[in-house]
Amino acid sequence: MKRNKARSGTRTKAAAPSAPSSPTTKRQVPKRQSSHPAQKPAVRIPPLLLEGDEPTSDAGPVQASPGLAPPATALPESYGTGRLFLAVRDPHCLYAHWDLSLEQQRDYNALSADRHLIVRLHRDQPATKPLHEIHVHPESRYWFVHVERAGASYAAELGYYSAQGQWHSLACSDPVTTPPDSPSEDKTLHFARIGLEILELRPPALASGDQEGGSGQSPARGSQVGMPVAEELALPPESPTRRFEPAARITALIVPDRVGWIPPLGLGAPSLPPITTLPSLLAPGPEAQPPDLQTGRTEPSATPIPFGTPAQEEMLAQLLAQVRAQPLGISSPTVSSPPGGLPPAPQEFWLAVNADLIIYGATDAKAVLTLAGQPVELRPDGTFSCRFSLPDGNFGLDVVAISAEGLVCQAALQFSRQTDYQEAAPAAAQEPALRLPGG
Amino acid sequence: MANRGYFCLVLHAHLPFVRHPEHEKFLEENWLFEAITETYLPLLQTLGRWQLEGLRVPLTLTLTPTLCAMLRDPLLQDRYTRHLEALVELAGKEILRTQWEPSFRELSELYRRRLLELRDLYMSFGRDVVGAFGRLQDLDQIEILTSAATHAILPLLAEHPPSLRGQILVARDEYRRCFGRDPRGIWLPECAYVEAVEPVLREAGLHWFVVDSHGLLNAHPRPRYGLFAPLLTPNGLAVFGRDRDSAKQVWSRQEGYPGDPRYRDFYRDIGFDLDLDYVRSYLAAPDQRGFTGFKYFRITGPTGGKEPYQRALAMRAAEEHAGQFLAARLAQIQHLAGLFDRPPLVVSAYDAELFGHWWYEGPEFLDFFVRKIHCEQQVFALTTPEEYLRQQPTHQVAKPSASSWGEEGYWRVWLNEKNHWIYPHLRVAQERMTELARRFTAPEPPIERALKQAARELLLAQASDWPFILRTGTSPDYARRRVTDHLLRFTSLYEQLIQDRLDLPWLAEVESRDNLFSDVDYGYWR
């Protein structure tokens, strides 16, 4: 079609006419140019499907805390800056967001031949030929964009095609770079040394003039159980802050020497590439060999397998491959999360029947009362109330009150419980599903 | 005999800033209270014991700025004290209530003893948990790291460098206030790294950080020693990689130690099991069932039936697991030492709250492990990253790869369909904060107060915890409200400052609520 030919770049379209979703469910599948969305009846999406977990624009479920009423009670739907924002989510997913007001969006949609906007994805800079064009829903203000190449730079552009097939650019994002998803092929070795003087232990200094924290009743430092007294330490005045040298100097001086990842065959003996001192760290100078950790000596450690031999390299490669084969990230969902949470919901119909006994009464407020030999605190009026779990079986309970004058009053109680579950209901079924800690 | 390698244990303690003076009790404040009782105090107890016994256990511990702010806050200290007293009272009631259930009775007595010990410990250092950890650092027993001010995912702020400066430099300042010295290392929140953070780390005087394993393995050029030696970045920072094998042994949902049937079941709690009228006054929210910390069952198995928790059995499990963990590290380090020309370093990092809170026997596992290291082997020694660098200053130079330790290894947890709506608002707020910082260079005191509060509100809105909770769905309404509230407060402050119409009573109220980082320097956003 003529109009389509006028368009630059490869055009792709979302596969499913649904609300914006993750790239796993919405991949940009290249589509033949002949199908033009403007010629099809618009798909009506129930508003509910367009709702994420974001707050609604009215006061709705997001209320300000009681007693503190800021002038607004809800965040605006947009700020109307007209800007396009691109962020990296992972090596193969970008997040694009465009800040258009409802009116702006409506106006641009009306100008668009497709009745919606298009996000173009470029390698490196918007000036380049677009990799993809993503037709977004008329209401969308964001899209999760799948990208094939990890470790690559991308930029996004927002715009639309006019009825004449002319591309109109509305906004361009800054470029972003996705992380690599595999080890580098560059096996260059370059060593540097961190300056020892910056790693010297600095003696501790008491914080000065800090009255904010604490309860105002802190005892002398170090008086807690099991903690040596801090005053035993010599505490010099606060040490000065150390800062690094300007970055420009550093990057200029650490251009790595190109040496091979695997030393030449037959060397056998340890062979380290040149060592450079990182200038920011002010080390006194390069060493021939890194010092031994334990002794501080500069001789290399004795190794059963000579470092740098093919056998050693192969073992090292296998080891690293094993490490890399494991899944990324932590499998537990509790990463740095607040503690708490709720127990898992029961999965089947169940019944729990428990019984507690409440023993209550009163005596002279000055008396000493024991239940089952345990002292029980009386209320100011001499009353008491205690609860006992009553499992199946026969039980006795002695209640003894001794007055201030030594007079004794006592009572002996007997209880019995028998529970017959009619079906296979467990005796204590509140927890039907096992969940591992953190799981 | 010289050690053939080194093992570095890193614990990351973090909680979001949750403080609601406007409510008598607030459900989410219990996150802090549970963590103090179950993790921070037991950890202090264990460290103190090692110290007294002369065991040198170099441990690396992050205390995030928001956690420090809460632990030092007098209101929260008062509330925690009341919480602890209530638990002691409940323990007394439980001892009576379980009169005819011997296995539960034994446990309730154990809980009471434990709570009394922890209460004594807490009061003995004047309720200053941060100060207690700081003193252990002064004694060279532990190394405390800082983190970003409100645990923001730094790569998601990278397009706005003043936000990176705000997060890192405010954290550095808070560290100084808490510990009287400069931080040396930083725990990047969720190990989330991009190269753009490095200039700010350097500006803050930080020397090293940790990335997840693929952050190191995918470094450029390829790291010769894999995970088992740090790299030096071209910017002059040292970067350590988290070891996967040791993490998996402890943390894996399927295979991790905490899932052993002998350990205490986390979810089975009397707050859910017993008559609501009985437990109501001990719950964080009176009309909502929740955890009390009184748990009487062990994991038992994959079915619903649970058996009573047996402390002795669980302790045997902890010792066995510590032995297995040690054996695995010995095999790992010996194998690596045979391949390397330098002593390998294994960095094993965990959320601190795993030990004690999620995994009740975690502190005992650590104790067994440390004692076994000292008594049963001479192959490796414990170290901290700082100590390791001091002894081994020469390393390969390479650029780490952008990465995190979250699900799938990048930022999916914090940027997805459930939470993406936060970022456009943050983006505008961040730019407005810079606009304010540039506009007001020498403000009068009321304006300065408003600028500082605007910085606090922005920092709080940037916390990684809110998108995390929105993703996991544990308390989504609360997370949504927190993001919204902080952004609205920020916007209101911005408009008041721009329009020169400060509402001072309202400002005072906001200051009293979001009261962390009292000396925050809004100039970092310029």
Instruction: Give contacts of B365 with chain A, Cβ < 8 Å.
Output: none
Average pLDDT, chain B: 95
pLDDT band at A307 (very low <50, low <70, confident <90, very high): low
How far is the CA of B336 from the CAs of A305, A321, A326, B342, in angstroms? 11, 14, 18, 9
Is A72's pLDDT higher than 90? no
In Å, how far is B171's CA from the nearest CA of chain A?
14
A51 Cβ neighbours under 8 A, 6+ residues apart: none
Residue tagged 């798909």 (tokens): A43
d(CA A118, CA A102): 16
Out of A99, A180, A199, name the one closest to residue B389 (CB). Answer: A199
Structure tokens given for B272: 């859910």
Q: Which residue would you say has higher pLDDT here, B69 or A216?
A: B69
What's the pTM value of the predicted model, to 2 decimals? 0.81
Q: Are strands A275-277 and A176-177 parallel, antiparallel or unpaired?
A: unpaired
Q: Report yes or no on B325 lying in a domain.
A: yes
In Å, how far is B23's CA from the nearest CA of chain A?
9
Out of A238, A278, A426, name the one closest to residue B304 (CB). Answer: A426
Q: Report yes or no on A65 lying in a domain.
A: no
Q: Which residue would you say has higher pLDDT here, A362 or B302?
A: A362
Q: Considering A145, A177, A209, which residue would you say is the last residue of a domain?
A: A177
Query: Mutation test of the interface with chain A: which of B342, B361, B413, choosing the one with the most A Cβ atoms within 10 A?
Result: B342
Sheet holding A84-90, edge to edge: A84-90, A93-98, A142-146
Distance spanning both ends of chain B, measured CA to CA: 55
Residues B144 and B191 in one domain: yes
Domains contained in chain A, number: 2
| Secondary structure (DSSP) of A74-96 | S--S------EEEEEEETTEEEE
Query: Mutation test of the interface with chain A: which of B250, B488, B494, B511, choosing the one with the most A Cβ atoms within 10 A?
Result: B488
d(CA B179, CA A204): 8
Alpha helices in B236-293 (DSSP H): 244-251, 270-273, 276-279
d(CA B398, CA A272): 16
What is the number of alpha carbons within 13 Å of residue A277 lying toward its C-beta?
Answer: 13
Q: Considering A135, A155, A177, which residue would you say is the last residue of a domain?
A: A177
What pLDDT sits at residue A195? 72
Of all residues in chain B, the percent with pLDDT exceeding 90 is 93
> Is A70–B492 a contact, with Cβ atoms under 8 angstroms apart?
yes
In Å, how far is B517's CA from the nearest CA of chain A?
9
Least confident of A229-238, A360-369, B293-302: A229-238
Instruction: Give contacts of A201 with chain B, Cβ < 8 Å.
Output: 140, 390
CATH code for the domain in which residue B496 is found: 1.20.1430.10
Residues B232 and B199 in one domain: yes
Q: Report yes or no on A435 lying in a domain.
A: no
B494 Cβ neighbours under 8 A, 6+ residues apart: B429, B432, B433, B436, B454
ipTM topping 0.90: yes
Least confident of A330-344, B46-60, B127-141, B200-214: A330-344
In Å, how far is A437's CA from the nearest CA of chain B?
5
Instruction: Give contacts of B340 with chain A, Cβ < 8 Å.
Output: 303, 307
Is A203's pLDDT higher than 70? no
Residues B30 and B144 in one domain: yes
Out of A67, A210, A315, name the one closest to residue B177 (CB). Answer: A210
Q: Report yes or no on B97 lying in a domain.
A: no
Residue B413 CA, chain-centre distance (Å), reads: 17
pLDDT tens sequence across A249-272:
222 223 233 222 222 222 233 334
Out of A97, A191, A303, name the one closest to residue B338 (CB). Answer: A303
| Secondary structure (DSSP) of A259-292 | --SSPPTT--S--PPPEEE-GGGT-S---SSPPP
Residues B389 and B485 in one domain: no
Q: Report yes or no on B432 lying in a domain.
A: yes
What is the number of alpha carbons within 13 Å of residue B200 lying toward its C-beta?
Answer: 28
In Å, how far is A37's CA from the nearest CA of chain B?
25
Q: Report yes or no on A155 lying in a domain.
A: yes
> Is A254–B234 a contact, with Cβ atoms under 8 angstroms apart?
yes
Of B225, B399, B417, B257, the closest CA to residue B328 belongs to: B257
Instruction: Give contacts of B405 with chain A, Cβ < 8 Å.
Output: 329-330, 335
Cβ under 8 Å to B: A residues 397-416: 397
Residue B277 CA, chain-centre distance (Å), reads: 34
d(CA A312, CA A304): 10
Of all residues in chain A, the percent with pLDDT exceeding 90 is 39
> Residues A98, A80: contact at Cβ < 8 Å?
no
Residues B133 and B249 in one domain: yes
A253: left (phi over 0), alpha (psi -120 to 50) or beta: alpha
Q: Does A418 reach chain B within 8 Å, measured CB to CB?
A: no
Residues B426 and B477 in one domain: yes
Distance spanning both ends of chain A, measured CA to CA: 55
d(CA B2, CA B221): 31
pLDDT tens sequence across A133-178:
999 999 999 999 999 999 999 999 999 999 999 999 999 999 999 9
CATH code for the domain in which residue B134 is found: 3.20.110.10
- Backbone phi, psi, residue B35, to 5°: -70, -35
Is A238's pLDDT higher than 80? no
d(CA A172, CA A174): 7
Cβ under 8 Å to B: A residues 215-254: 215-219, 221-228, 230, 233, 235, 238-239, 241-244, 247, 250-251, 254
Give the residue from chain A lying closest to B245, CA to CA. A323
What pLDDT sits at residue A330? 56
What pLDDT sits at residue A349? 77
Least confident of A241-245, A328-332, B93-97, B389-393: A241-245
Domains contained in chain B, number: 2
Q: Report yes or no on B298 lying in a domain.
A: no
> Is A391–B101 a contact, with Cβ atoms under 8 angstroms apart?
yes
Structure tokens given for A56: 């609604």
Residues B251 and B381 in one domain: yes
What pLDDT sits at residue B187? 98
> Is B476–A53 a contact, with Cβ atoms under 8 angstroms apart?
yes
Cβ-Cβ pairs closer than 8 A, A with B, add up to: 545
pLDDT band at A345 (very low <50, low <70, confident <90, very high): low
The 3-state DSSP class for residue A396 equals: strand
Out of A290, A330, A430, name the one closest to residue B342 (CB). Answer: A290
Residues B368 and B403 in one domain: yes
Residues B381 and B519 in one domain: no
Of A169, A167, A168, the closest CA to residue A8 belongs to: A167
Q: Considering A143, A161, A177, which residue would you say is the last residue of a domain?
A: A177
Least confident of A34-43, B105-114, B181-190, B513-522: A34-43
pLDDT band at B33 (very low <50, low <70, confident <90, very high): very high
Out of B20, B151, B491, name the one closest to residue A72 (CB). Answer: B491
Q: Report yes or no on B83 lying in a domain.
A: no
Q: Report yes or no on B291 lying in a domain.
A: no
Residues B399 and B367 in one domain: yes
Q: Is B506 exposed, middle or buried (0-12, 13-18, 19+ CB in 10 A)?
A: middle
Residue A300 CA, chain-centre distance (Å), reads: 40
Q: Report yes or no on B281 lying in a domain.
A: no
Q: Report yes or no on A164 lying in a domain.
A: yes
Which DSSP category does A424 fall into?
Answer: S
| Secondary structure (DSSP) of B337-395 | HHH-SS--EEEEEEEGGGBTTTBTTHHHHHHHHHHHHHHH--SEEE--HHHHHHH--EE
Q: Considering B343, B377, B408, which residue would you say is the last residue of a domain?
A: B408
> Residues B233, B320: contact at Cβ < 8 Å?
no
Q: Report yes or no on B365 lying in a domain.
A: yes
> Is A87–B156 a contact, with Cβ atoms under 8 angstroms apart?
yes
Q: What are the beta bridge partners of residue B271?
A: none
Structure tokens given for A63: 């209320």
Q: Does A127 reach chain B within 8 Å, measured CB to CB?
A: no
Of A135, A132, A157, the closest CA to residue A38 belongs to: A135
- Section B458-468 average pLDDT: 97
pLDDT tens sequence across B496-517:
999 999 999 999 999 999 999 9
Is A337's pLDDT higher than 50? no
pLDDT tens sequence across B395-453:
999 999 999 999 999 999 999 999 999 999 999 999 999 999 999 999 999 999 999 99
Residue B20 CA, chain-centre distance (Å), reads: 20
- Section A19-32 average pLDDT: 33
Residue tagged 């001091």 (tokens): B390
| Secondary structure (DSSP) of A305-339 | S-TTSHHHHHHHHHHHHHHHHSPSS-SSTTTT--S
Residues B441 and B353 in one domain: no
pLDDT band at A54 (very low <50, low <70, confident <90, very high): low
pLDDT tens sequence across B147-185:
999 999 999 999 999 999 999 999 999 999 999 999 999
- Section A208-234 average pLDDT: 32
> Is A434–B303 a contact, with Cβ atoms under 8 angstroms apart?
yes
CATH code for the domain in which residue A378 is found: 2.60.40.10
Q: Which domain holds residue A385?
A: 356-417
pLDDT band at B252 (very low <50, low <70, confident <90, very high): confident
Q: Which domain holds residue B325?
A: 5-72+128-264+309-408
> Is A336–B12 a contact, with Cβ atoms under 8 angstroms apart?
yes
The size of chain A, in residues, is: 439
> Is A294–B391 a contact, with Cβ atoms under 8 angstroms apart?
yes
Give the residue from chain A lying closest to B426, CA to CA. A75
Beta strands in B389-514 (DSSP E): 394-396
The three-state DSSP-derived secondary structure of A100-130 is CCHHHHHHHHHHCCCCCCEEEEEECCCCCCE
Residues B471 and B387 in one domain: no
Q: Considering B408, B430, B461, which residue would you say is the last residue of a domain?
A: B408
Q: Considering B383, B408, B433, which residue would you say is the last residue of a domain?
A: B408
Q: What angle do CA B449, B454, B458 make, to 5 degrees?
A: 150
The three-state DSSP-derived secondary structure of B286-305 is CCECCCCCCCCEECCCCCCC
